Amino acid sequence: MRLAFVGKGGAGKSAIAGTFARILAREDHKVLAIDSDPLPGLAFSLGLAIDRSPPIPDDAVIERKAGEEGPRWRLNPDIDPFEAVEQWSVEAPDGVRFLQFGKITIEPRDLWRPQMAFRFVINKLPAGRWNVIGDLPGGTRQAFTGWGSWANTVLIVVEPTAKSLLSGRRLARMADIDPENPKRVMVVASKVREPDDVEMIAKGTGLEVIATVPWDEELAEAERQQLAPIDFAPASPAVRAVESLVERLSEERVA
Amino acid sequence: MKLAVVGKGGSGKTTTSSVIARTLARGGMAVVALDCDSNPNLGISLGVGDEETERLVSMRQALDEGEEAHAPTWDTLLSRYGSDGPDGVRLAVVSRIDNPEPG
């Protein structure tokens, strides 16, 4: 399973992705949760209050030598993507491996090398060894090209607001942007309160709504307390809805 | 006054910006609202609607695709690529949507 969550900022991508990864790992599947947002996000939803990720080394990408063919930057040939993932990631609860790229911090640091290494490694990760669950940054920038090209299933998280719907529509239009990496694209309705919200989201995006995550005060409280929804409120309606989503996508799992 | 509103996705940047813009305009000030988000939604919160927001976005995209010349001045930019919203707020979309990252 190579699953990316995209959508407008604040739609619930991280909370749903983190919960999804934990549930999948509890079912004894090897799960790699990846966060390619330069701002904080997925770690809290996975239950990692303090993030101790080791920095991705600067020499993980190297420049093409004079006279060589191909792109200017490449992954250091000494690096094995599978081992790199083990080394650069940290363990989250339930055995989820968590990998993120360079975060923006107060110390000025050039982040493009670690970010590029992150991307090379994910794109070269052998198929069938990890279930990869990705939390992509809000908006449309990374969704289907470059950073999102590793995914084969993309779930657009949409809440019943005009702005979230417009973002969902834009993302739906971009689904075929990279014909070399065809994707299955579906919608997760999020923060649903009213009976006709799901229909509005289905119509507004023109896509299949594969799961409905209700508005859930307990989820909001988990966010307030910096706790993973699955730890703070394991029986909440929102967590239950993510369980159903995992079930829905079960045929794609890598044991 | 030149005011930028920033923050995490979903925290209310667009809503806050639009209310500030409309409030200032109602107070009699000339207001330009610039949508600098790569997923531009400000038009919706300002009240110009989906279609007009998307029209401004496609004009901005056309600029990158070479179908339009870049506006030579600030005033031209606003008159060519902007739109009048409620309370007389002038809205322009600055960012393009599908910005391919370098490398």
- Listed range (A107-121, B6-20, B34-48, B88-102) with the worst mean pLDDT: B88-102
Quick one: what percent of chain A has pLDDT higher than 90? 62
The whole-number pLDDT of residue A106 equals: 61
Interface A–B counts its CB contacts (< 8 A) at 59
Helices vs. strands in chain B: H and E counts, helices first: 4, 3
Contacts of B68 (CB under 8 A, 6+ apart): B59, B62, B80
Burial (CB count within 10 angstroms: exposed 0-12, middle 13-18, buried 19+), residue B40 = buried
Q: Quick check: B44 and A139 CB within 8 A?
A: no
* Local confidence band at A138 (pLDDT 50, 70, 90 cut-offs): confident
Closest-CA residue of A relative to B14 is A163
Quick check: B17 contacting A, CB < 8 Å? no
- Asked if B41 lies within 8 A of A167 by C-beta distance, the reply is yes
Domain ranges of chain A: 2-252
Q: What is the DSSP letter of A139?
A: B
* CATH architecture of residue range(s) A2-252: 3-Layer(aba) Sandwich (3.40)
Residue A145 has a pLDDT of 67
Domain ranges of chain B: 30-93
CB atoms within 10 A of CB B78: 16
ipTM above 0.90, yes or no: no
pLDDT score of A223 more than 50: yes
B7-60 residue pLDDT tens:
988 999 999 999 999 999 999 999 999 999 989 999 999 999 999 999 998 888
Greater confidence (A90 vs B96) lies with A90
User: Is residue A234's pLDDT more than 50?
Assistant: yes
Closest by Cβ to A139, choosing from B9, B102, B103: B9
Torsion A45-A51-A52-A57 (CA) sign: positive
